[in-house]
C-alpha cells in the first residue's frame, strides 16, 4: 500500500488549507525577515546543554558551536546503534559529560558556572511512557527538578526547559493550541511534560536565585540524525534499509511536523530574550504551514525522493493517541521575531537528503555544519 492521501480535520481559520496536491497544499508565505540566533550573544557564552546525545540536542550542540558558545553537554550515553551524536561528532564541539538527571549531585556539578542552560534531556517517546511510566516521570519531572535546584545560586542568566506540544489538555478542540490553553493530557509522557510546565512555573514564582526561566513547546520535529524508536521518520528509514514495509499506527493522525533547525533556532532566540529580560514564560514553536497527516508527510517524502513508500497498518493493539495536534506559534513571532523558514516540502526534502548522504557514507558533521552555516546566514540550506 502506498502513501495514500488521508484528509485531516479542517485547519485553523488563520492558516487555511488550499485544496491542492498533498505536496503543495497548506503553504504559508513567509514575507517578513525572521530573526536568527545572534553570534554576538552566544560567542563565548558558557552553555549547559542537557540531552546533547539525542537528536535535537546534537543539532543544538553543532549550532551553538557555530555561534561560538562554549558548550557543556550532560546526558546519558546515546542508545545503541546509529545516533545523531556520533554522526554529527558532537563530542568534538562539547565538553562531553555523561550522567543521569536523577543524580542530583551530578546535575548540580554540571550546572555550576553556566550562563545559559538549555534542557533538552527527557524520555521523549509516547510508547515508552506507557511501557515505563515510573521511569518516564522520574526522568522528565524529577530530573527537571534536580536541574532547577542545581541552577539555584549559580548566577546564570537564562534557562529554557524544552517540553512538548503534548502538554496541552487535548479534548479534540478544532483549533491549534495557544500558550494559555489548559495543560495536562492523559498518557504518561504527555502528563509528565505538563507536570514539567507546572514545576517550572512554581520555581519561577517561588525562588529568586534562579536564572530567568521559560518553557519551549514544539511539535513533531524531523531532520537528519533521528534514529529514535517508534518515531515516523526513523521507522521509515529503517524500513527502507531493511526492504520491508513501514508499519503505521494511524496514517490519518495529524501532527505539526517541522524541521529541527527551525525549532533549535527558536529555543536559542527564547534564551536570548530571557537573558535580555523580555521573554514570555512559555512559547509554542509550530511549523510554517498547517499540520499534516502522517500519510501526507509520506507523500512529501515520495515526491522528494522519487521513491514510493511501501507501508501497512500495524496489527498490534492500538495505542491510545490523540488524532490531532496543532500549535499556534504567533506569540513566538510577536515576542521573539521567530518564524520557521523551512516549509513542509523543504523540511522533508532536507531530511531525506541527509539520510541518503548518511547511507552513502558522507561526512555528516561537515554536511550538517554547512547546512547550519547557511541557515544562520539566512540562506537556503
For 39-227+258-293+328-373, CATH gives: 3.40.50.720
Q: Is 319 exposed, middle or buried (0-12, 13-18, 19+ CB in 10 A)?
A: middle
- pLDDT > 70: percent of the chain: 90
| Ramachandran sector of residue 359 (left: φ over 0; alpha: ψ -120 to 50; beta: rest) | alpha
Reported as a single tens digit per residue, the pLDDT across 235-250 is 999 999 999 999 998 8
Distances (CA, A) of 381 to 371, 372, 377: 5, 8, 10
Question: What's the rounded mean pLDDT across residues 62-68?
Answer: 98
Q: What is the pLDDT, as a whole number, of residue 98?
A: 97
Q: What is the pLDDT, as a whole number, of residue 102?
A: 95
Tell me the C-alpha distance between 247 and 235, whole Å: 8
Q: Is 155 exposed, middle or buried (0-12, 13-18, 19+ CB in 10 A)?
A: exposed
Beta strands in the chain (DSSP E): 46-50, 70-75, 95-98, 116-119, 158-162, 212-218, 220-222, 246-248, 254-255, 257-259, 282-285, 292-293, 311-313
Q: What is the pLDDT, as a whole number, of residue 290?
A: 82
Tell me the C-alpha distance between 323 and 296, whole Å: 14
Tell me the C-alpha distance between 231 and 56, whole Å: 14
Tell me the C-alpha distance between 243 and 79, whole Å: 23
Strands 254-255 and 292-293, sheet pairing: antiparallel
pLDDT band at residue 319 under the 50/70/90 scheme: low
Q: What is the pLDDT, as a whole number, of residue 157?
A: 98
Give the cell for residue 83.
545516533
Question: What's the rounded mean pLDDT across residues 270-278?
Answer: 96
| Ramachandran sector of residue 81 (left: φ over 0; alpha: ψ -120 to 50; beta: rest) | left
Beta strands in 168-211 (DSSP E): none
* Sign for the pseudo-dihedral over CA of 39, 63, 380, 336: negative
At residue 33, does pLDDT exceed 80? no
- Higher per-residue pLDDT: 137 or 23: 137
Tell me the C-alpha distance between 329 and 340, whole Å: 10
Report which of 73, 1, 16, 25 is spatially closest to residue 293, judged by C-alpha positions: 25
Neighbours of 377 (CB within 10 A): 10
Sequence-separated (6 or more) residues with CB below 8 Å from residue 182: 168, 169
Tell me the C-alpha distance between 357 and 303, whole Å: 18
Task: Give the DSSP H or E segment for 344.
Answer: helix 344-359
Reported as a single tens digit per residue, the pLDDT across 69-110 is 999 999 999 999 999 999 999 999 999 999 999 999 999 999
pLDDT band at residue 171 under the 50/70/90 scheme: confident
**C-beta separation of 255 from 219 below 8 A:** yes
Tell me the C-alpha distance between 200 and 219, whole Å: 20
Whose grid coordinates read 522528494? Answer: 304
Domains of the chain by residue range = 39-227+258-293+328-373
Whose grid coordinates read 480535520? Answer: 9
Q: Is the pTM of this model over 0.85?
A: yes
pLDDT band at residue 361 under the 50/70/90 scheme: very high
- The 8-class DSSP code of residue 264 comes to H
Tell me the C-alpha distance between 305 and 348, whole Å: 10
**C-beta separation of 91 from 115 below 8 A:** no
Report which of 348, 329, 349, 347 is spatially closest to residue 339, judged by C-alpha positions: 329
**C-beta separation of 175 from 16 below 8 A:** no
Amino acid at each position: 500500500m502506498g502513501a495514500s492521501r488521508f484528509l485531516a480535520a479542517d485547519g485553523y481559520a488563520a492558516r487555511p488549507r488550499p485544496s491542492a496536491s498533498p505536496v503543495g497544499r497548506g503553504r504559508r508565505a513567509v514575507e517578513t525577515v525572521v530573526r536568527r540566533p545572534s553570534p554576538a550573544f552566544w560567542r563565548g557564552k558558557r552553555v549547559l546543554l542537557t540531552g546533547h546525545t539525542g537528536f535535537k540536542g546534537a543539532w543544538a550542540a553543532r549550532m551553538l558551536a557555530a555561534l561560538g558558545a562554549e558548550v557543556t553537554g550532560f546526558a546519558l550515553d546515546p542508545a545503541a546503534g546509529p545516533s545523531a551524536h556520533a554522526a554529527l561528532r558532537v563530542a568534538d564541539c562539547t565538553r562531553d559529560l555523561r550522567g543521569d538527571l536523577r543524580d542530583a549531585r551530578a546535575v548540580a556539578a554540571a550546572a555550576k558556572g553556566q550562563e545559559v542552560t538549555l534542557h533538552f534531556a527527557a524520555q521523549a517517546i509516547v510508547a515508552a511512557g506507557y511501557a515505563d511510566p515510573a521511569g518516564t516521570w522520574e526522568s522528565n519531572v524529577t530530573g527537571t527538578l534536580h536541574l532547577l535546584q542545581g541552577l539555584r545560586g549559580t548566577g546564570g542568566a537564562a534557562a529554557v526547559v524544552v517540553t512538548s506540544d503534548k502538554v496541552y489538555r487535548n479534548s479534540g478542540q478544532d483549533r491549534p493550541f495557544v500558550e494559555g490553553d489548559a495543560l495536562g493530557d492523559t498518557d504518561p509522557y504527555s502528563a509528565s511534560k505538563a507536570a514539567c510546565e507546572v514545576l517550572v512555573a512554581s520555581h519561577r514564582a517561588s525562588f529568586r536565585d534562579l536564572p530567568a526561566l521559560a518553557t519551549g513547546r514544539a511539535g513533531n520535529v524531523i531532520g537528519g540524525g533521528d534514529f529514535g524508536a517508534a518515531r515516523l521518520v526513523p521507522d521509515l528509514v529503517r524500513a527502507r534499509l531493511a526492504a520491508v514495509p513501514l508499519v503505521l499506527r494511524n496514517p490519518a493522525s495529524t501532527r505539526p511536523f517541522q524541521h529541527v533547525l527551525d525549532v533549535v533556532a527558536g529555543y536559542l532566540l527564547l534564551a536570548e530574550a530571557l537573558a535580555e529580560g523580555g521573554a514570555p514564560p512559555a512559547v509554542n514553536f509550530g511549523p510554517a504551514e498547517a499540520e499534516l497527516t502522517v500519510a501526507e508527510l509520506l507523500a512529501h517524502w515520495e515526491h522528494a525522493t522519487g521513491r514510493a513508500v511501501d507501508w501497512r497498518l500495524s496489527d498490534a493493539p492500538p495505542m491510545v493517541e490523540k488524532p490531532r495536534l496543532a500549535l499556534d506559534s504567533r506569540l513566538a513571532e510577536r515576542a521573539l521575531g521567530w518564524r520557521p523558514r523551512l516549509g513542509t516540502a523543504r523540511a522533508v526534502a532536507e531530511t531525506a537528503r541527509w539520510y541518503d548522504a548518511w547511507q552513502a557514507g558522507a561526512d555528516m558533521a561537515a554536511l550538517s555544519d554547512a547546512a547550519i552555516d547557511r541557515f544562520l546566514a539566512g540562506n537556503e540550506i
